[in-house]
C-alpha cells in the first residue's frame, strides 16, 4: 500500500462511512450543538451495556455509568440552560440555538435515552437471573427470606426513617439533591380520613440489601435463601413492610420519586475569603432549584400534582419511568463478587526503567526522560516520586497542583510527610473542582495543619494543570525534577483512566514549571518560557501556530497532517482553524472521546477531517497533539505535545493548563507511534462521527484482524526506558499500513 502525498495512508475501505461527504445546507450550522453532542456520547456509553463481548456485570457497570453521567448532565448543563431561560438570556449556542430551543431538543432526546436505559436494564436483569443474581425478584422471597427481610426492616431501616404527613400543619419537607422518597396514600381505619404521607430514604442507606446466602427465620436454624444471590431495594422493603410504619391505617397506594437539583457553583470574582465563600456555596448547592423529578409510571395523580406544586416545577421537568428509578444505583450490584462475570483482573506493571534503578525514581529520571502510561503502568510510580522526595535529605522543596485527589490519597500523605520532615512544601489546591469542592477543602485543612503552604489559586480561573516539581540538592547546586500529567493525582481513577505521566529533569522545563507555580501562587505572569506553554497565556496561540505551519506546508506541497486526541472539542475558533487546515489540504485525524462540535466530512469545509471516539474498558483521558512538521505521519520529526487541556474555551481561556513538548526520542516514539497511533488504529472500541452528527461503530478493514488498543497495551510491555524496543521487536510495532501490527 502506498503512502499518500500528505503523509498519511489512504482511508481504508472499511472507513468509507467515516469519509462520506455531505454539503452544508443554507440554514445548517457548521457546528454541532454541545449539549446534544454530549448526549450522543452518553448513548455510546450506553451502547457498551449492550456489548455482548463484555461480561455481564461489566455491561451493568456501563449502564450505571450512563445513569450517573446523565444525572451530572442534568444537574449542571440542563440546570444552566434552565437558569438562562428564567433570566431571559437569549445568547445562542455555537449552532445558533437559543437556550429554550436547546432545552426542547434535550428533553426530546432524554425521553428516548431514558426509555433505552430501562429496556437495557430489563434485558440485563434477565441475564443476571440466568447467572443466579436476582434483583427484586418477589418469586424468590420464600417464607424464610420473608422473615429475614422483615427483621432487617424492623431493625435496620425502621429506626432511621421518619414518616411525615403532608397537610397544612406539617410543612413540606426538604428533599435533598439526588434524594429519593416514597409517597403513601393512606386511609385512617377509625375515621376513614384520607391523607398523604412522605417517607424520605436517608442517603446513608444503601440502595439495595443483599440477602445472605443462608438466612435464619424466627425460631428456626439457618436455611438456604433459595439459591443464588438476591438483592432487594431499600425502597421496595419500605413499601413491602409499610404496615409496620403506619399502624391503624390502610395503605391505598404508594409511589417512589427522585429529585435532581441545580448543583453548579458560581463564585463572584470579588469574593474576599475563598474558603468561606466555598463553604457557603456548597451549602447553597444542596438547596438548589429542582431540575428534574423522576416518578414511577403508575404514580398517583394527586400525589404527582402535590409534588410538582411543592417542588415548584412544571411538567417539563417531570420524567415518568416504567422501570428502575436511579439507574446509577446499580453500581452496588456491580460490586458482587463474581469474577466470572467481570473482566479478567488486571495488575498494572512497574515500568522497566524504575526496576532497573531498584525503585529509585530520581535515578531513573536523571538517566533520561520517562513516560508512564496509566493504567497499564502503575500510578505507584507517581506516589513513589513524592514519597521518595519526602524522606530524601537532599530534597529541599516540593510544589504540587491538586485538582482531584480522591478520598484516600497517598499523594496527600506524601506531602504531609514531607512537610513534617521540614521540607518546603507548597500545594495548589483547586477549590472549584466540581463535586470535589468539599473533599478539597478537607485536604487543604489537613495539609495546612501539617505545615504545607496551601494556595487556592485564582478566583476566576481553575488551576487544572497536573504538575509536581521537586528541588533536590546535588553537588554544588540544585536539580529540579518534574512530573507533568494529563490526568489527576487520583489513585483510583488512575486505575481506570488512560493517562500519561511524564517525568523529566530537563532544566528548561524545570525553570518553566517554577514560573508556572509563581504565576498561580503570586500572580507573577511568566515571561520568556523556554519550552512549556501555559493557558491562558500562550497555549492557544501555540496550537494555532502549529496548525498554521501545517497549512503552510500543505500549500508548499509538503506532507501536512494533524493528529489530536482529546476528551472534548468545542472551541469555535479552534474548530475554524481546523476547518482552514482541511481546506488547505491538511489531513486531520481526531480522536475525541466525548463532545465534538466539529462537523467532519462537509464538502468545502471539512472533507479532510475524520473524527472517531474510543469507548471501552478504560476511559480514554490523555490529551495528545501531534503535527507532521513537513514529514509523513507518524515520524520522528513530528512535533508532539501532551497536555492537561482539552480544546474547549474554558481550558484555553479560563484555566491554568500546560502543554508540554515531547523531545526525548524514546518518549516521542511511545506517545506518537504507540499511544496515539493505537487509538487511530482501534477498530473494536471506536465510533466514527458522521456529517449529520450520528455515530456508527468502526469496522475493521476486510482481511485485517480487528485491533483493540486497550488489549494491545495490556498484553505488550511499554516503551518506558526502552529506546531500542521497537527496533529490536520487543514491542510489536504499529503501522498505518494494512495489517496494523508488524
Which CB contacts under 8 angstroms, 24+ apart, belong to 650-655? 650/462, 651/464, 651/535, 652/535, 652/536, 652/539, 652/540, 652/571, 652/574, 653/535, 653/536, 653/540, 654/460, 654/461, 654/462, 654/536, 655/461, 655/462, 655/463, 655/464, 655/535, 655/536
Which residues, including other chains, have CB under 8 Å from residue 183's CB and lie 6 or more apart?
166, 196, 197, 198, 254, 255, 257, 299, 300, 303, 306, 307
Residue spans of alpha helices (H) in 556-692:
572-583, 649-653, 665-670, 677-681
Which residues, including other chains, have CB under 8 Å from residue 566's CB and lie 6 or more apart?
590, 591, 592, 593, 623, 624, 625, 646, 647
Rounded to the nearest 5°, which phi and psi values hold at 415?
A: -65, -40
Active-site residue list: 464
- Beta carbons within 10 angstroms of residue 273's beta carbon: 9
Distance CA 498, CA 710 (A): 9
Helices (H) and strands (E) in the chain, counts: 22, 29
Which CB contacts under 8 angstroms, 24+ apart, belong to 709-712? 709/614, 709/616, 709/678, 709/679, 709/681, 709/682, 709/685, 710/498, 710/616, 710/617, 710/618, 710/685, 711/684, 712/678, 712/741
Distance CA 533, CA 721 (A): 25
**649: burial class by Cβ within 10 Å (0-12, 13-18, 19+)?**
middle
Place of cell 528548561: 508
Place of cell 509523513: 632
Distance CA 416, CA 259 (A): 39
**100: burial class by Cβ within 10 Å (0-12, 13-18, 19+)?**
middle
Which residues, including other chains, have CB under 8 Å from residue 532's CB and lie 6 or more apart?
509, 512, 513, 515, 516, 658, 659, 660
Distance CA 80, CA 78 (A): 5
Which residues, including other chains, have CB under 8 Å from residue 305's CB and lie 6 or more apart?
none
Which CB contacts under 8 angstroms, 24+ apart, belong to 417-420? 417/387, 417/390, 417/391, 418/386, 418/389, 418/390, 419/447, 419/450, 419/451, 419/452, 420/450, 420/451
- Beta carbons within 10 angstroms of residue 554's beta carbon: 24
* Distances 570 to 211, 645, 646 between C-alpha atoms, Å: 47, 12, 9
N- to C-terminal Cα distance for the chain? 14
Query: What angle do helix axes 99-130 and 34-48 make, rounded to 10 degrees?
Result: 0
Q: CA 13, 17, 19: angle at the middle one, nearest 5?
A: 85
**184: burial class by Cβ within 10 Å (0-12, 13-18, 19+)?**
buried
Distance CA 616, CA 62 (A): 10
In sequence order, what DSSP letters do the residues of 69-83 get, joined into one string? Answer: HHHHHIIIIIHHHHH
Rounded to the nearest 5°, which phi and psi values hold at 443?
A: -60, -45
Distance CA 189, CA 251 (A): 10
Amino acid at each position: 500500500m502506498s503512502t499518500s502525498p500528505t503523509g498519511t495512508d489512504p482511508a481504508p475501505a472499511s472507513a468509507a462511512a467515516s469519509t462520506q461527504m455531505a454539503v452544508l445546507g443554507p440554514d445548517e450550522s457548521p457546528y454541532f450543538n454541545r449539549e446534544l453532542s454530549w448526549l450522543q456520547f452518553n448513548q455510546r456509553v450506553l451502547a457498551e451495556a449492550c456489548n455482548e463481548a463484555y461480561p455481564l456485570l461489566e455491561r451493568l457497570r456501563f449502564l450505571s455509568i450512563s445513569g450517573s453521567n446523565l444525572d451530572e448532565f442534568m444537574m449542571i448543563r440542563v440546570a444552566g440552560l434552565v437558569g438562562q431561560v428564567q433570566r431571559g438570556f437569549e445568547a445562542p449556542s455555537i449552532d445558533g440555538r437559543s437556550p429554550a430551543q436547546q432545552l426542547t431538543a434535550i428533553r426530546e432526546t432524554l425521553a428516548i435515552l431514558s426509555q433505552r436505559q430501562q429496556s437495557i436494564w430489563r434485558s440485563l436483569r434477565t441475564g443476571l437471573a440466568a447467572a443466579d443474581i436476582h434483583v427484586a425478584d418477589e418469586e424468590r422471597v420464600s417464607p424464610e427470606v420473608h422473615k429475614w427481610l422483615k427483621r432487617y426492616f424492623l431493625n435496620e431501616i425502621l429506626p432511621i426513617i421518619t414518616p411525615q404527613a403532608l397537610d397544612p400543619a406539617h410543612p413540606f419537607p426538604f428533599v435533598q439533591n439526588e434524594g429519593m422518597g416514597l409517597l403513601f396514600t393512606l386511609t385512617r381505619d377509625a375515621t376513614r380520613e384520607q391523607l398523604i404521607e412522605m417517607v424520605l430514604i436517608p442517603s446513608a442507606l444503601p440502595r439495595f440489601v443483599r440477602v445472605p446466602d443462608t438466612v435464619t427465620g424466627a425460631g428456626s436454624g439457618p436455611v438456604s435463601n433459595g439459591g443464588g444471590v438476591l438483592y432487594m431495594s431499600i425502597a421496595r422493603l419500605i413499601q413491602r413492610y409499610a404496615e409496620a410504619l403506619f399502624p391503624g391505617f390502610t395503605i391505598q397506594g404508594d409511589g417512589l420519586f427522585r429529585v435532581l437539583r441545580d448543583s453548579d457553583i458560581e463564585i463572584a470574582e470579588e469574593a474576599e475569603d475563598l474558603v468561606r465563600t466555598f463553604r457557603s456555596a456548597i451549602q447553597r448547592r444542596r438547596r438548589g432549584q429542582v431540575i428534574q423529578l423522576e416518578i414511577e409510571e403508575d404514580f398517583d395523580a394527586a400525589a404527582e400534582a402535590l409534588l410538582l406544586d411543592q417542588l415548584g416545577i412544571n411538567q417539563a421537568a417531570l420524567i415518568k419511568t416504567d422501570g428502575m428509578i436511579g439507574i446509577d444505583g446499580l453500581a452496588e450490584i456491580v460490586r458482587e463478587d463474581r469474577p466470572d462475570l467481570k473482566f479478567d483482573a488486571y495488575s498494572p506493571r512497574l515500568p522497566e526503567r524504575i526496576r532497573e534503578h531498584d525503585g529509585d525514581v530520581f535515578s531513573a529520571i536523571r538517566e533520561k526522560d520517562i513516560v508512564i502510561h496509566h493504567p497499564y503502568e502503575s500510578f505507584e510510580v507517581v506516589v513513589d516520586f513524592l514519597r521518595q522526595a519526602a524522606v530524601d535529605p537532599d530534597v529541599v522543596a516540593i510544589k504540587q497542583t491538586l485538582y482531584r485527589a480522591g478520598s484516600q490519597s497517598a499523594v496527600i500523605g506524601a506531602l504531609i510527610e514531607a512537610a513534617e520532615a521540614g521540607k518546603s512544601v507548597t500545594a495548589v489546591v483547586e477549590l472549584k473542582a466540581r463535586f470535589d469542592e468539599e473533599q478539597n477543602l478537607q485536604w487543604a485543612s489537613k495539609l495546612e495543619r501539617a505545615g504545607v503552604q496551601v494556595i487556592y489559586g485564582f478566583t476566576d480561573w481553575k488551576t487544572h494543570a497536573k504538575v509536581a516539581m521537586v528541588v533536590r540538592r546535588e553537588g554544588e547546586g540544585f536539580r529540579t525534577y518534574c512530573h507533568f500529567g494529563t490526568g489527576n493525582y487520583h489513585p483510583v481513577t488512575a486505575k481506570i483512566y488512560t493517562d500519561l505521566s511524564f517525568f523529566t529533569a530537563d532544566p528548561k522545563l524545570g525553570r518553566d514549571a517554577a514560573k508556572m507555580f509563581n504565576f498561580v501562587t503570586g500572580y507573577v505572569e511568566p515571561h520568556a518560557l523556554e519550552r512549556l506553554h501555559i493557558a491562558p497565556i500562550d497555549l492557544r496561540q501555540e496550537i494555532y501556530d502549529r496548525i498554521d505551519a501545517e497549512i503552510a506546508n500543505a500549500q508548499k506541497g509538503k506532507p501536512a497532517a494533524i493528529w489530536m486526541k482529546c476528551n472534548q472539542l468545542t472551541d469555535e475558533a479552534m474548530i475554524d482553524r481546523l476547518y482552514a487546515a482541511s481546506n488547505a489540504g491538511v489531513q486531520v485525524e481526531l480522536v475525541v472521546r466525548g463532545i465534538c462540535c466539529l462537523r467532519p466530512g462537509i464538502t468545502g469545509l471539512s472533507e479532510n477531517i475524520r473524527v472517531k471516539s474510543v469507548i471501552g474498558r478504560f476511559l480514554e483521558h490523555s490529551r495528545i497533539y501531534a503535527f507532521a512538521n513537513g514529514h509523513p505521519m507518524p515520524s520522528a520529526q513530528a512535533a508532539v505535545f501532551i497536555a492537561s487541556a482539552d480544546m474547549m474555551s474554558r481550558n484555553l481561556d479560563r484555566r491554568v493548563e500546560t502543554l508540554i513538548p515531547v523531545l526525548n526520542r524514546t518518549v516521542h516514539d511511545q506517545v506518537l507511534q504507540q499511544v496515539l497511533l493505537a487509538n487511530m488504529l482501534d477498530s473494536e472500541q471506536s465510533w466514527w462521527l458522521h456529517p449529520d452528527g450520528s455515530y456508527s461503530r468502526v469496522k475493521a478493514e476486510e482481511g485485517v484482524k480487528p485491533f483493540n488498543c486497550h488489549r494491545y497495551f495490556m498484553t505488550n510491555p511499554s516503551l518506558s526506558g526502552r529506546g531500542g524496543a521497537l527496533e529490536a521487536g520487543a514491542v510489536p510495532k504499529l503501522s498505518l499500513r494494512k495489517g496494523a501490527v508488524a
